[in-house]
Amino acid sequence: EEVAALQASLDAGTIHVWSAMNERGSDHPLLGAVVEDTNKAALQATPKSITVAALGADGKFSSYSNYGASVAVTAPSSSGPGLPSITSTDRLTSGVGYDGIPGYPDYTNNFGGTSASAPLVAGVLALAKEVQPALDARFAKHLLAISSDLVDPADATLTSDGGWRTNAAGIRFNQNYGFGMINADRLTSNAVLYSGVTPLESELITTTNVNASIPNNSPNGRVRTFQIASSKPLEEMVVNLNLTHPKSGDIQAYLTSPSGYRVRIWSLNPKEARNFNQAWRVSTNAFWGENPQGTWSLEVQDRAANNAGTWNSFTVRAYVGSLIAVPRDDAEYVSETASAFGPGERKSVKIRFKNTGNTTWSTGDTILKADASTATAWGIASTPLRASTAPGGTAEFVFYATAPTATGAYPWVWQVAKNAVAIGQPNPNSTKVVEGYSSDFVSQTGLKRNVKPGEKFTAYLTFVNNGTLPWQKSDGVCLKSQWPLLNATWGASKIYFNTVVSPGQSFTVRVSATAPATSGTYAFKWQMGAGGATVFGEVNNTFNVNVVP
């Protein structure tokens, strides 16, 4: 009746948290036998219930904490001598309760057992219920499966059933710890990412008669297989074993999924003397999330001599369901192809963002958008998505951008927008440099208004490098005559200099000029330039020179 009432309450969604019990290595106070496996306690093995093991301050399972395939999670509690226990409130007034802390009779620091670890889990689930009112028994177990922490990673004890193992769905499990240590922060954070779970479905393998002896004192047990048709993610597997055997502690049973993942569902215990003359329901959380479709195998072993037994029959029920994610749009910058631009340069740009949300980006609702200053500087405000991008995929946005005509650093901020709402973070490189040569004219000296034909004179022209590249002879930078370009009116068309002029620096070029042989008025015009016929920046101030006899 108690189990039936619990199951009805769980089916209604009520969250029930159970202590795993404290019988590891000791006699059960009621059953009079060692009952270390939680699957041998009806309440702790009830599907949807949350069975909690205990972790000591040394980071290992507490010496008393029961283990089993039905353990769901672990929480801190007491452990061995000299290690701290749990501090908690005590019964009010001195002389009543533990009175564990001198001077503070209403508190104790000696609280322990799985009776201490289970309330901690209940409290964390209450926090999760506060942020996610839809939390129920199934929802809570799903969150525990994806939110719990790995502890005691080197554990390889026999009770662990192979230590920490990861099933085909990527869920870790260890029979000493369940899914791991409860993590309040991660669990409550995950609670708001999901709206609930899909409606519960199950597939029943009706009573299958075996009616065969169990090989006695042998590691080779009796094996039966069955098929599961559903391909929906598993929650729990529940097995009803009907055996006849005078000593249940001789029995060991395993369940193996289509993925090959083998899980102990009933543990060997030589000290356990009660008989196994009934159907016993066991459950396991170890297959959580796996695809159950395919052939399963169920094996029953009798690992001790003297007592023979019979496997009468079994039934199996596979519970399936999955979390329902709250729609969430997010994006993460990946890369881009565009480096520096030249002044006024127009070229193709590719910017890639990863879809880190849980909804698909479609061509009709998703764009790459520039902020206002970027749009002004580069002449483009947005570009459409080229192809639908599923969660986890990477989208490539391709467009042409035209650089400003002046060199310098300009805003370059791009962000994915879906349904006109920006999502994720923009690209981390918030500026784009327009690189190139540029110059401003500063001053000129040494010029003569009137010279004789063939007369030599020296002029000095000063320019400032206001571009982004240094001026150096190896790059072909020099002072070039103008009007027309590279004319030899004054005896030279190019004047190189050996000094490297960095951006921001001024430099004075010495022009050793020879007047034309023919009388007339000639313009003395010069401009900085690079290789070939390229010139850049300002021309010196207009100065006309008269060549007279």
pLDDT of residue 298: 99
- Give the pTM: 0.71
pLDDT of residue 26: 64
Helices 114-131, 137-147: inter-axial angle, 10-degree rounding: 100
Q: What is the pLDDT of residues 263-294, one digit of tens each?
A: 999 999 888 888 888 899 999 999 999 999 99
Only one residue has tokens 């004054």, namely: 490
The closest of 290, 281, 285 to 257, measured between CA atoms, is 290
| Residues 342 and 434: beta-carbon distance below 8 Å | yes
Which pLDDT band, with edges at 50, 70 and 90, does 35 fall under? low
pLDDT of residue 504: 94
Bigger pLDDT: 78 vs 90 = 78
CATH class given for the domain over 201-325: mainly beta
Alpha carbon 198 to chain centroid, angstroms: 24
Q: Which fold would CATH assign to domain 331-434?
A: Immunoglobulin-like (2.60.40)
Question: What does the pLDDT average to over 225-239?
Answer: 98
Would you state the structure tokens that stand for residue 65, as one six-digit string?
A: 């904490």
List, as one string, the DSSP characters of 356-416: -SSS-B-TTTEEEEE-HHHHHHHS--EEE-SS-B-TT-EEEEEEEEE--SS-EEEE--EEE
Average pLDDT taken over every residue of the chain: 94
Question: What does the pLDDT average to over 446-450?
Answer: 97
Domain at 2-196, CATH homologous superfamily:
Peptidase S8/S53 domain (3.40.50.200)
Q: Indicate the domain borders of the chain.
A: 2-196, 201-325, 331-434, 439-547
Per CATH, the number for 439-547 is 2.60.40.10
Q: What is the pLDDT of residues 464-523, one digit of tens each?
A: 998 889 999 999 999 999 989 999 999 999 999 999 999 999 999 999 999 999 999 999
pLDDT of residue 31: 46
pLDDT of residue 32: 45
Bigger pLDDT: 535 vs 318 = 318
Fold match between 2-196 and 331-434?
no
pLDDT of residue 1: 75
For residue 260, give the 3-state DSSP assignment: coil
Q: What is the pLDDT of residues 121-158, one digit of tens each?
A: 999 999 999 999 999 999 999 999 999 999 999 999 99
Q: What is the pLDDT of residues 165-176, one digit of tens each?
A: 999 999 999 999
Distance between first and last Cα of the chain: 129
Q: What are the two backbone dihedrals, phi and then psi, of residue 440, each rounded to the nearest 5 degrees? A: -115, 140
Only one residue has tokens 């023919």, namely: 518
Which pLDDT band, with edges at 50, 70 and 90, does 34 fall under? low
